[in-house]
Amino acid sequence: MNTLIKVENLSKQYRLGVVGTGTMRDDFTKWWSGVRGKENPLLKLGETNDRTIIGNSDYVWSLKDINFDVQQGDVLGIIGRNGAGKSTLLKILSRITAPTTGSVKIKGRVASLLEVGTGFHPELTGRENIYLNGAILGMKKNEITKKLDEIIQFSSVERYVDTPVKRYSSGMYVRLAFAVAAHLDPEILIIDEVLAVGDTEFQNKCLGKIKDISGEGRTVLFVSHNMGSVQNLCNRGILLNNGEVLFDGSSTDAVTAYVSSAINFNTSNYIEIQKEHKNSGVLSEIEVKSLELLEGFQYNQYATNDPMTLELALFGNQSIDDFRVAFGIYTLQEEGVASHFSDPKFSIKKGEIKKIRLKINHHQLAKGQYYFNFAIGKGNEETGVREFDLVMKTLFFEISYTDVDHSKGIVMWDKQGWGSINLQNVEAIEM
Amino acid sequence: MTHLTKDNWSHIIQPKNKWFEINFREIWEYKDLIFIFVKRDIVSTNKQTVLGPLWFFLAPLFTVFIYTFVFNGIAGISTDGIPAPLFYLAGTTLWNYFQSCFMATTTTFSSNASLFGKVYFPRLVSPISTVISNLLKFFIQFGMFLCLWSYYFYKGEVHLNITVLFFPILILLLAGISLGLGIIISSMTTKYRDLSYFISFGITLLMYVTPVIYPLSSIPVKFKFFIEYNPIAPIIEAFRYGFMGKGAFSLFDLGYSFIVMVVLLLVGIVLFNRTEKTFMDTV
């Protein structure tokens, strides 16, 4: 066994809020304690990074006392919910930011792909960008020249290789960028979610390439929300939760631990309604039988611009005309975010099963995890309501991307400060 | 992969660098990246312009025209007996190099934030490549200067001095001072942006205490020490002395500029080194 990465007591503290005069006071405190040879008092502050709890401190530990080793040939999947500390860990391992305490020891050449096409310059041609991107990722010029034909062929954009990349479609751009990255020859490869881009054919090509790389005895660290590919590619998994290692073991066990750790967050997109979802105060003239989220990305993830479609299957215990379907969207802290009451235009016969599709075209929800409540009944917020059936806390989903092809994860959204709705349809006009 | 043997760690990632821990070998390993950045800067500045590299000529040409008109024609500031256009062109060519290097390196962290946030390479690669790519622009302007200079030289209005051989050293001094000063400012403005407001007008003020639009000899003695503390002044004066025979050449003053450059570079590298590890958290 040859240990290539050794992570020891790694912690990272972040300051929340904006940089202002208060920051200067803290900097002074830090400096003054250093001058007197004392421990920085600010390091005693801070709390675990649980974004669901309102904190009291300006400081938060994004990672706290992380310890693990990576052996040569390991393909390690790092999983966890948004804000669990995955990105921070990758940033430290890629030497983009330094830890607050602790250390990481690394053997061998590291290449990290936290984004495809890092440093691409829109005005330069594809060929020029291959050199630029390759050099940024740590390749030597003659190495790139040697692999140039292979890279161009892998990207399958031969025809456009002498065109500025600003004229590329986003698919071509990603292909070219991944082609460069795939031809790096590092001993350790760090990858963040890059597989969630491009069409299926290209994704398979990428997965295949990563398999090849790991087959050659290289070490791969892989962060993903895609449990399928973690299970497929990795032999080992680490589950992070609120900045701490919750589980370290085989990738299959890690995925299982992830799914069950999300106690509130049920990732299935089809739910048959059981007793526990029901509100006992209703007479069930109409019953909700099942709920389904259609077109959701894996584990019910959506982009900020994705339309969302759900389907309700209703069963009529009595014949009822002119009823409506209403739903509310809530955060995991059970705060209401939005509601909708449909027109009273549905009717159902006794013994009939009726399917109703709800299409939310422009949801405007900010990054985060949410769930639905449903109410089948009559009346609305003006007239007063009478419900036939109420279904609570079902269909969990997550907004985690900014774009439709799920390549750009949302970096941060401070819900406390910015709320749950990210208004899209706003015009700012200079008068 | 024989080098991956026991406890032969190639990097150790820790909270802070030591004061002078700078890995020059690593920067050398990334020399290809420096040249590719230089190429990127040069190629991308002129894409989608009709006149292309001609802009490198036009801008200083207009400046010199205005300076000749305002400072020489209207204000009547002496040019030490040197033909006014040549005098101003010499000053602005050198000053432009200093200014463009300095202004570009001061924003190293803020303008590269998206790149630095995604990939590691020695951060000094960025300001170094800026200084080199501006050097190429400088040589284009310097070529223009040489053309004008030949004209006056042929007419016998200016004459060469042996100290013209110092020319490469003068350029290195300018590059070093702008790089040192630039990375100091860039390190100081990542967290607190206040300084960057000062810089944009500070650079204009600095030009007026540098003999760009006037010769050092025209300064009254009581103001002279202002300019003598300016490490750029001896460089511009020595340049004029070498090429045009008027100005001041003093090894002592150039030595002073050299010491300032070394100090600025050392301080700059130390500050830069400390900033590069955590600036992503504050930028």
CATH of the domain at A208: 3.40.50.300
In chain B, which residues have their Cβ closer than 8 Å to the Cβ of A128? 39-40, 43
pLDDT above 50 (res A263): no
pLDDT above 50 (res A51): no
* Contact between chains at B9 and A187 (C-beta distance less than 8 A): no
A298 with A177, same domain: the answer is no
A352 with A369, same domain: the answer is yes
Mutation to test the A interface, candidates B23, B40, B190, most A Cβ within 10 Å: B40
A239 with A280, same domain: the answer is no
| Per-residue confidence band for B162, with pLDDT thresholds at 50, 70 and 90 | confident
Distance CA A60, CA A46 (A): 4
* Contact between chains at B191 and A23 (C-beta distance less than 8 A): yes
A137 with A250, same domain: the answer is yes
A118 with A222, same domain: the answer is yes
A286 with A350, same domain: the answer is yes
In this structure, is residue A55 part of a structural domain?
A: no
In chain B, which residues have their Cβ closer than 8 Å to the Cβ of A138? 30, 121
Quick one: which H or E segment has residue A79? strand A75-79
CATH code, A293: 2.70.50.60
A354 with A211, same domain: the answer is no
* Contact between chains at A119 and B117 (C-beta distance less than 8 A): no
In this structure, is residue A287 part of a structural domain?
A: yes
List strand residue ranges (DSSP E) for A234-285, in order: 236-241, 244-249, 270-272
In this structure, is residue A40 part of a structural domain?
A: no
| Per-residue confidence band for B1, with pLDDT thresholds at 50, 70 and 90 | very low
Nearest CA in chain A to B48: A123
Instruction: Choose one of A261, A295, A312: the last residue of a domain.
Output: A261
Mean predicted lDDT score pLDDT of chain A: 80
By Cβ distance, the residue of A100, A132, A187 closest to B1 is A187
Mean pLDDT along residues A146-174:
87
Min CA distance, B93 vs chain A (Å)? 28
Count the domains in chain A: 2
A257 with A282, same domain: the answer is no
A242 with A330, same domain: the answer is no
pLDDT for A264: 53
* Residue-number span of the structural domain to which A242 is assigned: 3-7+67-261
* Contact between chains at B44 and A124 (C-beta distance less than 8 A): yes
CA A226 to chain CA centroid, nearest Å: 9
pLDDT above 80 (res B95): yes
In this structure, is residue A352 part of a structural domain?
A: yes
Distances (CA, A) of B71 to B63, B149, B202, B212, B228: 11, 20, 21, 11, 22
Instruction: Choose one of A242, A261, A280: the last residue of a domain.
Output: A261
pLDDT for A25: 65
Quick one: which H or E segment has residue B252? helix B251-276
What residues pair up with A313 in beta bridges, in sequence order?
Answer: A290, A355
Which of A185-194, A342-351, B181-190 is least confident? A185-194
A165 with A226, same domain: the answer is yes
A223 with A172, same domain: the answer is yes
Distance CA A351, CA A314 (A): 10
A169 with A303, same domain: the answer is no
* Contact between chains at A119 and B115 (C-beta distance less than 8 A): yes
pLDDT for A54: 47
* Contact between chains at B32 and A92 (C-beta distance less than 8 A): no
Does residue A119 come out as left (phi exceeding 0), alpha (psi in the -120 to 50 range) or beta? left
By Cβ distance, the residue of B16, B43, B47 closest to A98 is B16
In this structure, is residue A35 part of a structural domain?
A: no
Distance CA B175, CA B183 (A): 12
Distance CA A354, CA A366 (A): 32
Min CA distance, A238 vs chain B (Å)? 20
In this structure, is residue A129 part of a structural domain?
A: yes
| DSSP three-state, residue B201 | helix
In this structure, is residue A160 part of a structural domain?
A: yes
Is the interface score ipTM higher than 0.95? no
Mean pLDDT along residues A35-45:
62
Min CA distance, B35 vs chain A (Å)? 10
Mean pLDDT along residues A241-250:
88
Nearest CA in chain B to A114: B118
Mean pLDDT along residues A47-51:
52
* Contact between chains at B119 and A72 (C-beta distance less than 8 A): no
| Per-residue confidence band for A404, with pLDDT thresholds at 50, 70 and 90 | low
- A82 vs A88, residue with greater confidence: A88
Instruction: Choose one of A214, A243, A261: the last residue of a domain.
Output: A261
By Cβ distance, the residue of B15, B37, B117 closest to A100 is B15
In this structure, is residue A83 part of a structural domain?
A: yes
Which of A192-206, A214-228, B178-192 is least confident? A192-206
CB pairs under 8 A between A and B: 119
Q: Which long-range contacts (CB under 8 A, 24 or more apart) does B70-75 make?
A: B71/B213, B71/B214
* Contact between chains at A106 and B120 (C-beta distance less than 8 A): no
